[in-house]
Structure 1
Amino acid sequence: MGSFSIWHWMIVLVIVLLVFGRGKIPELMGDMAKGIKSFKKGMADDDTAEDKRTVEHRADETVSAVKEKASKS
């Protein structure tokens, strides 16, 4: 009972095909691939946006000095 035989997998495959249909499974896989590509593109766009931003660090400024400047503004 610990492992599934080929007959168990055949029954599962038949049930999946009955529920989703033959044409629906490739459509779902295509949608998932588009989602992954979109995610990767979004991640790449974030990386390029971070590269364009620069932050100046000054050794003589402390956190309290920056907070005081911000509160005065």
Structure 2
Amino acid sequence: MGSFSVMHWVIVLMIVMLVFGTKKISTIGSDLGKAIKGFNDGVKGESKEADGQK
């Protein structure tokens, strides 16, 4: 049970694209990016509040 080769990952990516479609994947990607940005902003805001700054 070694690691997957590049060809395995290409096949997995093609299957995912066939199942979900490219539009759905891009929507998921943008939503995930917004969630990560919001999380980072929240963490920065909490650290500023802990320091007593706003």
TM-score, normalized by length of structure 1?
Answer: 0.57
Higher relative contact order, chain-length normalized (CA < 8 Å, sep 6+)? 2
TM-score, normalized by length of structure 2?
Answer: 0.72
Structure 2 CA distance for aligned equivalents of residues 5 and 46 of structure 1: 41
Q: Deviations over 1:12-68 (max 9, x none)?
A: 222101211110111111111101100010001101111118xxxxxxxxxxxxxxx
C-alpha RMSD of matched pairs (Å)? 2.2
Greater Rg, structure 1 or structure 2? 1
Q: CA deviation at 1:5?
A: 5.8
State the identity as a percent. Answer: 42
In structure 1, runs of 5+ residues without a counterpart are 54-73
In structure 2, runs of 5+ residues without a counterpart are none
